[in-house]
């Protein structure tokens, strides 16, 4: 199973079809509002040419709020985001993706194309949803096989 299989399923839902991004000049408050509006846990930070410049997750926001208090919300995303982003490609396997998430202890991986341009993002929630649907599909196929007359 491949990352593109997950992206295909995501694209069928209105919410999953959009990759939410922000520029590093945005304020933390603006980024927080994006997370809330789209009901997501991380926003990919892109440079104006569409390349991945960083990632900002709810954990980064909680950390900076705990350190600096509510004034931190007027800081820029560029001051807080993670710059060393681990990405994947649509042709990576889900196994490779999960290994990256486990090794790096993060729950989001941006997907880039051959030119390094952002094409999507896969979260641990997307992977779990994909696996559950796959198991249900297999169970249903097995049930049909068992109950049909031979």
Residues near ligand AMP (CB under 6 A) are 41-42, 55, 57-60, 82, 85-86, 104, 106-109
Distance CA 42, CA 34 (A): 9
Q: How many helices (H) and strands (E) does the chain have?
A: 6, 5
| Phi (first) and psi of residue 51, to 5 degrees | -85, 155
Nearer to ligand AMP, 34 or 107 (CB): 107
Nearer to ligand AMP, 60 or 137 (CB): 60
Write down the least CB distance from residue 69 to ligand AMP, Å.
Answer: 19
Q: Which residue is nearest to ligand AMP (CB)?
A: 57
Write down the least CB distance from residue 129 to ligand AMP, Å.
Answer: 16
Q: Where are the alpha helices (DSSP H) in the chain?
A: 3-11, 28-38, 58-68, 77-80, 94-104, 124-147
Nearer to ligand AMP, 66 or 146 (CB): 66
Distance CA 97, CA 140 (A): 27
Write down the least CB distance from residue 91 to ligand AMP, Å.
Answer: 17
Nearer to ligand AMP, 85 or 130 (CB): 85
Write down the least CB distance from residue 84 to ligand AMP, Å.
Answer: 6
Write down the least CB distance from residue 55 to ligand AMP, Å.
Answer: 5
Nearest-Å Rg of the Cα atoms of the chain is: 18
Distance CA 137, CA 150 (A): 21
Nearer to ligand AMP, 116 or 137 (CB): 116
| Phi (first) and psi of residue 47, to 5 degrees | -85, 165
């Amino acid at each position: 199973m491949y990352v593109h299989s997950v992206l295909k399923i995501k694209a069928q839902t209105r919410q999953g079809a959009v990759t939410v991004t922000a520029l590093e000049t945005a304020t933390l408050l603006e980024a927080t509002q994006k997370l809330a509006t789209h009901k997501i846990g991380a926003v990919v930070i892109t440079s104006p040419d569409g390349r991945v410049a960083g990632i900002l997750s709810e954990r980064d926001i909680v950390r900076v709020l705990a350190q600096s208090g509510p004034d931190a919300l007027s800081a820029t995303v560029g001051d807080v985001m993670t710059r060393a982003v681990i990405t994947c490609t649509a042709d990576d396997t889900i196994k490779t993706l999960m290994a990256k998430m486990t090794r790096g202890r993060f729950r989001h991986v941006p997907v880039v194309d051959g030119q390094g341009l952002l094409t999507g993002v896969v979260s641990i929630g997307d992977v779990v949803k994909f696996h559950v649907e796959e198991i249900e599909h297999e169970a249903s196929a097995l049930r049909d096989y068992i109950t049909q007359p031979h």
